[in-house]
Homo-oligomer: A and B are copies of this chain.
Amino acid sequence: MSTSLDRLAARCAALLGPDAVIGDPVRLRTYECDGLTTHRAAPGLVVLPESAEQVAAIVRACAAEGVPYVARGSGTGLSGGALPRTDGVLIVTSRMRRILEIDIPNQRAVVEPGVINLDVSRAVRPHGYYFAPDPSSQQICSVGGNVAENSGGAHCLKYGFTAHHVLACEVVTPDGEIVQLGEGPGYDLLGVFVGAEGTLGITTKITVKLTRVPETVRTLLAAFDSIEAGGTAVSAIIGAGVVPAAIEMMDALAIEAAEAAVGCGYPDGAGAVLIVELDGPDGEVAHQFDQVERLCRDAGAFEVRVAADDAERALIWTGRKSAFAAVGRISPAYLVQDGVIPRTALPGVLARIDALSAASGVRVANVFHAGDGNLHPLVLFDDAEEGAAERAEEVSGAILDLCVEHGGSITGEHGVGVDKARYMPRMFTAEDLDTMQMVRCGFDPTGLCNPGKVFPTPRLCGEVPGVRKGPHPLVAEGKAELF
């Protein structure tokens, strides 16, 4: 441990009490990765604050020592956004788990960042409300992590992402100040903070919007011969003006994996299954559900199963929800990608993923939020086989290229983190990335706040235009005469 980390450990122990500071190498290893296990680094020090004031004091201490720091909620992120620094401090929010306020008439709640996503819904369900963002890790992930990653979930087609359900945040800035970001006049700094992957500060209090529990939820499973037919059904449903709570699709290989793992009993011989869920008032749901069923059959569904009750609904979802874990049954290892494409490009892109898979011999199982064009290709490989991981990585990159080529994105809901920073220049020009980094430099001029994430090439904040001296550079370079 370096001297500055030693000093920080002593200071934090004095501030927070000795049991809030972890310096023991064995215990530090617990924190060496988040949900992206291919990247690992044990933190130099772990601290467990209990208040915004403590977080601010830690940040100020890090700033004074010039030591980088990373915030971490439950560590379920899939892009390495909470990957620690061996030369830095990991600020873990697991002791900030209080639900501070529930305001039903105004449909909001105020929570600390360590509060578990599902616990918000549990607390307000007796009043008929829930917290809508539902990442599949919602039983364990934290609201602070949801804010950092702007987390989505199967139901974000209708309900949107975390950004749409956060009304205000109290934030410790990299300057160590406690500020309020929220709705109201001036710049929408809340908007830029949510989804900034922990690079602009640490949230210490979150005001979330509560959503009314729908009167009715109805779910169906439709089986098709091919992904193309399923894609046609998706387009028809959206085109008819229906906004389902969720439309999920799985291809044959994903179905095979789910059957092997949980025996979900999906129809035999399906090239693709579609799960469509509608929720809302009885009248609306009944009307639209009939329409969806008909559109699925028109698109060629050879079987449509309608869940008669909650148990049947859970059974339909079991296959989908187990899909990621289930591929372990058919492959020793896999990479999961998170590309996005325009909904209408689905059939074309999937055909090209098939071709990529055939040409490379690397199997790809597809599970996706079809309604919003968010693909989760599972690229399968055998980690015991030499070069297999590299080939899988190559196919992954090629899939992201396909997404970008079709006007889509390299990530839909998992974030950039350390995992996809290198792909950012495929989507953005140098000028676009520069504009983002100008904002980062505004918040974090010394670059100590979660460094190494999101941006492929960190920009030194000395390069910020604000620092330029003398005449405007366009004049100095003579460019101002050129246009």
Give the interface of A toward B (CB within 8 A): 15, 56-57, 60-61, 63-64, 66, 105-107, 128, 150, 163, 173, 175-181, 183-189, 191-192, 194-196, 200, 212, 215, 235, 238-239, 241, 280-284, 286-288, 340, 342-344, 409-411, 415-416, 420, 424, 427-429, 431-433, 435-436, 438-443, 445-446, 454-455, 461-462, 464-468, 472, 474-475, 479-481, 483
Q: Quick one: closest B residue to A410, CB to CB?
A: B185
Bound-state CA distance A414–B44 (Å) is 49
Q: Quick one: closest B residue to A212, CB to CB?
A: B241
B474 touches A466 (CB 8 A): no
- The interface residues of chain B lying within 8 Å CB-to-CB of A440 are 187
- The interface residues of chain B lying within 8 Å CB-to-CB of A60 are 474, 479-480, 483
B442 touches A438 (CB 8 A): yes
Closest 10 CB pairs of A and B: A191-B191, A64-B480, A284-B284, A283-B287, A438-B442, A283-B283, A445-B466, A212-B241, A57-B483, A184-B409
- From the candidates B63, B287, B344, name the one contacting A281 in the complex (CB within 8 A): B287
- The interface residues of chain B lying within 8 Å CB-to-CB of A239 are 105
| Chain copies in complex | 2
A189 touches B188 (CB 8 A): no
A150 → chain B closest CB, angstroms = 8
A15 touches B176 (CB 8 A): no
Contact A189 B461, CB 8 Å, known A184-B409, A472-B64: no
- The interface residues of chain B lying within 8 Å CB-to-CB of A178 are 431
B185 touches A427 (CB 8 A): yes
Bound-state CA distance A435–B462 (Å) is 18
B436 touches A105 (CB 8 A): no
A466 touches B442 (CB 8 A): yes
B466 touches A462 (CB 8 A): yes
B441 touches A439 (CB 8 A): no
- The interface residues of chain B lying within 8 Å CB-to-CB of A438 are 442-443
A194 → chain B closest CB, angstroms = 7
A373 → chain B closest CB, angstroms = 9
A186 touches B445 (CB 8 A): no
- The interface residues of chain B lying within 8 Å CB-to-CB of A175 are 465
- From the candidates B150, B340, B435, B474, name the one contacting A173 in the complex (CB within 8 A): B435
- From the candidates B191, B424, B427, B468, name the one contacting A188 in the complex (CB within 8 A): B191
- From the candidates B282, B286, B431, B468, name the one contacting A445 in the complex (CB within 8 A): B468
A99 → chain B closest CB, angstroms = 19
B474 touches A183 (CB 8 A): no
B192 touches A196 (CB 8 A): no
- From the candidates B188, B215, B428, name the one contacting A163 in the complex (CB within 8 A): B188
B342 touches A106 (CB 8 A): yes
- From the candidates B63, B66, B173, B186, name the one contacting A428 in the complex (CB within 8 A): B186
Contact A185 B287, CB 8 Å, known A60-B479, A63-B474, A439-B192: no
- From the candidates B187, B454, B465, name the one contacting A186 in the complex (CB within 8 A): B454
Bound-state CA distance A462–B464 (Å) is 11
- From the candidates B150, B184, B409, B474, name the one contacting A64 in the complex (CB within 8 A): B474
A211 → chain B closest CB, angstroms = 9
Contact A235 B343, CB 8 Å, known A192-B191, A215-B241, A440-B187: no
- The interface residues of chain B lying within 8 Å CB-to-CB of A105 are 235, 239, 343-344
A178 → chain B closest CB, angstroms = 8
- The interface residues of chain B lying within 8 Å CB-to-CB of A466 are 441-442, 445, 461-462, 464, 466-467
A436 touches B61 (CB 8 A): no
B188 touches A192 (CB 8 A): yes
- The interface residues of chain B lying within 8 Å CB-to-CB of A191 are 163, 188, 191-192
- The interface residues of chain B lying within 8 Å CB-to-CB of A150 are 188
Q: Quick one: closest B residue to A421, CB to CB?
A: B185
B185 touches A420 (CB 8 A): yes
A194 touches B188 (CB 8 A): yes
Q: Quick one: closest B residue to A463, CB to CB?
A: B466
